[in-house]
Amino acid sequence: MHRTIEAFLGSRPFERGPWLAVGFGVGIACWAVLAGPWQWAGFLALCGAVAVGGLLVDAEGDLGHLRAALIGMALMLAAGCTAIWVKSALVGEPGIARPEVVMLQGRIADRQVEGARDRVRLLLRAQVEGHPEPLQVRLNLPDENDRPGLVEGAEVRLRARLMPPAPPMLPGSYDFARAAWFQGLAATGNVIGPVTLVAPAKEGWSLRQWQQELADHVRAQLSGSPGTIAAAFASGDRGAIAQDDEDAMRDAGLTHLLSISGLHVSAVIAGAYFLTIRLLALFPFIALRVRLPLLAAGVGAGVGLFYTVLTGAEVPTVRSVAGSLLVLAALALGRDPLSLRLLATAALVVMLLWPEAVLGPSFQMSFASVIAIVAFSTSAPAKAFLSHSHEGRIMRLGRHLAMLLMTGVVIELSLMPISLFHFHRAGIYGAAANVIAIPLTTVLTMPLIALALVLDLFGLGAPAWWAVGKSLELLLWLAHLVASQPGAVTMMPGMSGATFGLFVAGLLWLALWSGRVRLWGFAPIMLGVAALLMMRTPDLLVSGDGHHVGITGEGPDLLVLRAVRDESYTRTALLENAGMTGNAIALEDWKAARCNQDFCAISLVRGGRKFDLLMARGKDLVEIPVLAAACARADIVVADRRLPSACKPRLLKADRALLSQTGGLAIDLVSGRIRTVAELQGDHGWFRRPPPWQQRVQRQGPTPAVTGAQALTLSQ
């Protein structure tokens, strides 16, 4: 067996390198999955043992490739785990313990205008009342309380309602607490009342102010939705884009066009590169004395860095420009820019600087799409399909268009598991939409915006802005058309991490190897598909505070304990985790439910058995004998407050005491499996555990605590 592996590795010297970057990323993921410091230390010790063991593999001197693979992967796994562990310890900021209304004073570090939401978002490093050390907080300021002078560098004093960074509302929901930890955010909240300007900002150049002025200029030249999207392309300011346009772009698979990322940076750099090399080639004096690819690469790099700074230098943009600079270096040196080894180098640079990015959808989707493009375009079938040079121009054009469509399909299939895992949704027609939208954006819209801005210097930009508006109207028309088609969006309940790992492993195997051996990547993918097909929608969803409950399986709509607004985060989270596209209907409006001002009760039949649910929704005290009798008739009781020990349901009491330990719940009544938020958090700094006294109270209660990966069997 080891001889076969040695021969396999020896025959693929150029395909082994990218797997080292994969090992680094897997080490980062292991740190996130493992529970705490003891497990992380054990993982590092295991990696060290494998590396030392690798030294013994080549005792006979003829297994050098296997030895190098074992040592290299073990070291990269350990390096990835160490990198994110160190980053977490250096930048992590514990959140505040509870909601507070406080006075605070500090300097504005960042200001973002969100016109579509009628607010301004401020980032402050401030001294907060009741906290000895300054905290970094992010606050929403209503437009009516905004005033001149509230810019970066200004010192302000204000009153705000602060909230701790929120953990996932339900298992599989967005983990804002983790994102806030790595951003150094201790709290978020809303400004209450007017803001006092203590000290104005120092006079000087401000990147954010320049960015805002550019966005305002673009919107002044181009009104309506096209103007808001043009401003996003030019400056990275997405705050004014209407919500219905955002939703349409998302459902059509085009939302990546709205954020400055690899597509935009690549288009800007490629435009600068080819424009420079074409213009300079017109002058023989320069062309014969200067190496044009090297000069064009320098111009492209400068333009790319300028565009990155201009659009806010967000982490996804910096990732993209780093990869683009490596491509420029390859072009300048005469190397192949479409190389998986080059892409692996870019990924490794990003992971060294921002290891936490590996855990988020932005990193995963951007690199997955580029890997899919490179792997598919360099595969033998794709090359053979485009190798018919003897055909006429029309046939060759047809083959290239077909190749473009097939590449879009490959990208969509590659991104679908990532989208389902993070967002519980995936677009069906995104491949076809992107075939039109990407060339429209990169070849027409963005060059026109650049031309219009240049012409504005001479007061001649109006015709170019008119053309920009028409191109963006076409883009929006396409997005709304695709998003409105039946079946445009596939919804699915939260995918488990193990299932997601199967998809990632299979897709990486398909992409990074060549020849028939790559087909083995379909094996884990098929296992992942089988796991998805076997996955059941949770029957009951309970938020971490017990305030919101969602019930599935009673038709196309989701039943909710409390009415929620159509555009609220709560409604979206409940529907996405249920894998449903219907409406959220208040339980009191459901004919089979029985509700009064204190409780709602409903009976569900699942797996041939009836389950009686009792859910608290009032704030008034209930007499203990009445409550005890109601609990005794119920199988499951849910409450957003602590219930007395006299409340003893037959199966589960999910009150404040239990939910403080578990976080949100996803309950499958047929199998008895309960997924919790806590089982996915471990001992990381961003997940706040309840005090020991709360845990003691819970252990004395009638219902076992659901912690870790423990399942509570709901059968008698």
Would you state the structure tokens that stand for residue 394, as one six-digit string? 């029309």
Q: Which residue, chain included where needed, has tokens 């240049």? A: 454
- pLDDT at position 692 is 45
For the segment 650-708, what is each residue's pLDDT rounded down to a tens digit?
A: 999 999 989 988 999 999 999 889 999 988 888 888 887 655 434 433 333 333 333 33
Cα-based torsion angle of the residue sequence 208, 213, 217, 218 in order, rounded to the nearest 10 degrees: 0
Q: Pick the range with the lowest mean pLDDT from 175-189, 233-247, 471-485.
A: 233-247
Q: Which residue, chain included where needed, has tokens 């009741």? A: 130
Report whether pLDDT(605) > 50.
Answer: yes
Q: Pick the range with the lowest mean pLDDT from 60-69, 70-79, 89-98, 546-555.
A: 60-69
Instruction: Tell me which of 1.10.3470, 1.20.1540, 1.20.1740, 2.40.50 is the CATH number of domain 100-202.
Output: 2.40.50
Q: Name which residue leads in pLDDT, 606 or 202.
A: 606
Name the pLDDT band for 263 (thresholds 50, 70, 90).
Answer: low
Half-sphere exposure of 545 (CA within 13 A, CB side): 8
Contacts of 685 (CB under 8 A, 6+ apart): 88, 92, 94, 181
Mean pLDDT of 308-335: 71
For the segment 206-254, what is each residue's pLDDT rounded down to a tens digit?
A: 666 777 788 888 889 998 889 989 888 888 777 788 888 888 888 888 8
Cα–Cα distance, 595 to 600 (Å, whole number): 4
For the segment 74-114, what is each residue's pLDDT rounded down to a tens digit?
A: 999 999 999 999 999 999 888 898 899 999 999 998 888 88
Question: pLDDT above 90 covers what percent of the chain?
Answer: 32
Report whether pLDDT(21) > 90.
Answer: yes
In sequence order, which ranges of 427-568 are alpha helices (DSSP H)? 430-439, 446-456, 462-483, 497-512, 522-534
Reported pTM: 0.85
Q: Name which residue leads in pLDDT, 101 or 492.
A: 101
For the chain, which residues make up each domain, given as ranges?
Answer: 2-91, 100-202, 211-491, 497-534, 540-700
Provide DSSP, 621-668.
---HHHHHHHHHT-SEEE-SSPPPTT---SSEEESHHHHHHH-SEEE-
Mean pLDDT of 3-11: 77
Cα–Cα distance, 280 to 245 (Å, whole number): 41
- pLDDT at position 428 is 73
**Cβ atoms of residues 171 and 680 within 8 Å:** yes
Cα–Cα distance, 366 to 79 (Å, whole number): 23
Mean pLDDT of 519-548: 92
In sequence order, which ranges of 190-290 are alpha helices (DSSP H)? 207-221, 224-235, 243-251, 262-280, 284-287
- pLDDT at position 693 is 38
Would you state the structure tokens that stand for residue 15, as one six-digit string? 């395909």
Would you state the structure tokens that stand for residue 128, as one six-digit string? 């907060």
For the segment 568-601, what is each residue's pLDDT rounded down to a tens digit?
A: 788 888 888 888 877 888 888 888 889 988 899 9
Q: Name which residue leads in pLDDT, 311 or 637.
A: 637
Name the pLDDT band for 204 (thresholds 50, 70, 90).
Answer: low
| Cα distance from N-terminal residue to C-terminal residue, the chain | 49
Q: Which residue, chain included where needed, has tokens 């529907």? A: 575
Instruction: Give the single-character DSSP code of 187.
Output: E
Report whether pLDDT(302) > 60.
Answer: yes
For the segment 113-125, what is each residue's pLDDT rounded down to a tens digit?
A: 887 778 889 999 9
- pLDDT at position 58 is 64
- pLDDT at position 152 is 86
**Cβ atoms of residues 661 and 692 within 8 Å:** no
Task: For residue 319, count CB atoms less than 10 angstroms from its CB and return exposed for 0-12, middle for 13-18, buried for 19 or more.
Answer: buried
Q: Alpha carbon of 505 to those of 361, 407, 521: distances in Å?
A: 16, 20, 7
Report whether pLDDT(362) > 60.
Answer: yes
- pLDDT at position 172 is 86
Q: Pick the range with the lowest mean pLDDT from 40-44, 107-111, 375-379.
A: 375-379
- pLDDT at position 705 is 36
**Cβ atoms of residues 293 and 331 within 8 Å:** yes
Instruction: Give the single-character DSSP code of 387.
Output: -
**Cβ atoms of residues 602 and 551 within 8 Å:** yes
- pLDDT at position 206 is 64
Report whether pLDDT(709) > 70.
Answer: no
The sign one gets for the Cα dihedral 599, 605, 610, 611 is negative
Mean pLDDT of 490-505: 88
Q: How far is CA 139 from the centre of its chain?
A: 22
**Of 412, 423, 480, which Cα lies nearest the Cα of 244?**
480
**Of 115, 437, 112, which Cα lies nearest the Cα of 248?**
437
Average confidence score pLDDT of the chain: 84
3-state secondary structure of 449: helix
Q: Pick the range with the lowest mean pLDDT from 265-269, 339-343, 570-574.
A: 265-269
Count other Cβ atoms within 10 Å, centred on residue 511.
Answer: 22
For the segment 131-161, what is each residue's pLDDT rounded down to a tens digit?
A: 888 999 999 999 888 888 888 889 999 999 9
